[in-house]
């Protein structure tokens, strides 16, 4: 057991606490207000400072004078004395600055993460999280939770896995990590709600529906994709039915179950165009018939079957080109498709929008705008003109491009 410091007197404890607190601010200190002191404390302070009369109950003491008195009494400066009595002196100003730096670094890391930069609509999610602050005040715990959420978002849309299976695959075997009500589940769902432009669901049924929209436990039969002109090689059912429909000049609707069936397909090695709206696909089929070039429709936000087909086409060598509506939702869908499939924009630059906008001088408002990661000036142009341009307005241009990619005439 260590000996008490000779100046560690009960009657002087209010003084040492006041000095310790002021020195811990991290700011320059010239005077310290102590107290309240009882009579014994006032006498002890008068003795320490060599005063000829008792100080008040809450005296203000010059720190230099106190330091000199303490040096004379025990040979150590006042900082060493209060450290010995009450423990280390912390620099609260430096600590606040350090914590602020950690928080800023955390939010900067999140805003610059590849999952967020690929789909800038998620910056709204980042802003919400920043407003709500750190998890239990800890940057490290918050970063850990966000890292897990980003891993899940990067893997979505899922391939129809049940939620526990998805969680176990992505999150160190923890099948309960995304259970309803967990912090991680809420984080991911809020990000999905921002992406899809919906309210955060407040009931379990709504949360299940949001997971389903992101491809978790999708129905393999109701999740389907519409396409034309897919002359696929192979003996599997997808290749066969696609070829039959393409050669007959008909569209093909492929379910997720069919796309997952054995056999698969190879080719095409050329360009596959992607459109957001079925009406464009219908116009292409009407114009080109059985000579229609490969065209896949997302039908708005792509489901699991759409993403599955596009990824598979990319794997067998197809070059994917995407076009969608020039409105807020269309930009978010485009960013999602590009991020998840490796497609490149097709007539989706700011100059394309500016050229098309005069076609609809009284067009609808584009709604909520979020950045387009492939062209930072696009949303600025849309915010300036405040006119939505849907695909049907520029269908003639799209069909002109498709004409250059028609298969050779028989």
Q: Which residues pair with 233 in a beta bridge?
A: 266
Neighbours of 49 (CB within 10 A): 17
Q: What is the pLDDT of residues 306-354, one digit of tens each?
A: 999 999 999 999 999 999 999 999 999 999 999 999 999 999 999 999 9
Q: What percent of the chain has pLDDT over 90?
A: 59
Residue 29's SS3 state is coil
Could you give the CA distance from residue 395 to residue 397 in angstroms, rounded to a whole number? 5
Cis bond leading into 157, ω under 30°?
yes
On the question of pLDDT at 1 being above 60, the answer is no
Burial of 410 from C-beta contacts in 10 A (0-12 / 13-18 / 19+): exposed
pLDDT in tens, 223-259: 899 999 999 999 899 999 999 999 999 999 999 989 9
Torsion of CA 135, 141, 145, 148, to 10 degrees: 170
Q: Is the pLDDT of residue 277 over 90?
A: yes
Of the candidates 278, 348, 281, 339, the one whose C-alpha atom is nearest the C-alpha of residue 314 is: 339
SS3 252: strand
**356-404 tens-digit pLDDT:** 999 999 889 999 999 999 999 999 999 999 999 999 999 999 999 999 8
C-alpha span between 383 and 94 (Å, rounded): 43
The crossing angle, in degrees rounded to 10, of helices 63-74 and 78-86 is 80
Tell me the C-alpha distance between 372 and 375, whole Å: 6
20-34, 88-102, 150-164, 280-294: least confident range: 88-102
> Could you tell me the pLDDT band of residue 263, with boundaries at 50, 70 and 90?
confident
CB atoms within 10 A of CB 235: 10
SS3 content of the chain, % helix, strand, coil (to 5): 55, 10, 35
Under a CB-based contact definition with an 8 Å cutoff, are residues 139 and 106 in contact?
yes
Strands 271-275 and 295-297, by their bridges, are parallel
Position 94 confidence tier, pLDDT thresholds 50, 70, 90: low
Q: Could you count the other beta carbons within 10 Å of the beta carbon of residue 97?
A: 12
DSSP 86: H
Per-residue pLDDT tens for 66-82?
888 889 888 889 889 88
């Amino acid at each position: 057991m260590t000996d008490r410091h000779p100046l560690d007197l009960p009657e002087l404890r209010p003084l040492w606490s006041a000095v310790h607190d002021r020195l811990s601010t991290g700011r320059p200190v010239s005077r310290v207000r102590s107290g309240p002191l009882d009579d014994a404390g006032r006498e002890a302070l008068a003795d320490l400072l060599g005063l000829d009369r008792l100080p008040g109950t809450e005296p203000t003491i010059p720190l230099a004078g106190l330091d000199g008195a303490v040096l004379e009494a025990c040979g150590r400066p006042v900082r060493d004395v209060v450290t010995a009595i009450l423990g280390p002196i912390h620099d609260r100003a430096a600590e606040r600055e350090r914590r602020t730096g950690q928080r800023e670094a955390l939010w900067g890391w999140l805003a610059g993460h590849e999952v967020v930069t690929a789909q800038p609509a998620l910056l709204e999610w980042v802003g919400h999280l920043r407003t709500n602050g750190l998890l239990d005040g800890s940057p490290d715990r918050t970063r850990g939770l966000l890292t897990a959420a980003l891993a899940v978002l990067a893997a979505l849309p899922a391939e129809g896995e049940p939620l526990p299976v998805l969680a176990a695959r992505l999150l160190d075997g923890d099948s309960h990590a995304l259970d309803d009500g967990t912090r991680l589940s809420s984080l991911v769902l809020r990000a999905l709600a921002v992406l899809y432009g919906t309210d955060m669901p407040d009931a379990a049924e709504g949360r299940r529906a949001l997971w389903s929209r992101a491809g978790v436990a999708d129905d393999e039969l109701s999740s389907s994709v519409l396409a034309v002109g897919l002359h696929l090689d192979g003996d599997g059912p997808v290749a066969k039915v696609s070829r039959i429909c393409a050669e007959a000049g008909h569209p093909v609707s492929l379910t997720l179950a069919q796309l997952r069936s054995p056999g698969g397909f190879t080719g095409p090695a050329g360009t596959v165009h992607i459109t957001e709206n079925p009406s464009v696909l219908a116009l292409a089929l009407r114009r080109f018939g059985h000579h229609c070039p490969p065209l896949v429709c997302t039908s708005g936000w792509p489901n699991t079957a759409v993403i599955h087909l596009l990824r598979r086409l990319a794997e067998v060598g197809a070059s994917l080109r995407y076009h969608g509506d020039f409105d807020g939702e269309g930009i978010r869908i485009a960013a999602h498709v590009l991020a998840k499939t490796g497609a490149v924009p097709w007539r989706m630059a700011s100059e394309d929008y500016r050229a098309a906008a005069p076609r609809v001088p009284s067009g609808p408002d584009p709604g909520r705008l979020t950045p387009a990661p492939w062209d930072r000036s696009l949303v600025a142009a849309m915010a300036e003109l405040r006119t939505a341009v849907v695909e049907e307005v520029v269908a003639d241009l799209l069909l002109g491009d498709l004409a250059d990619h028609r298969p050779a005439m028989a």
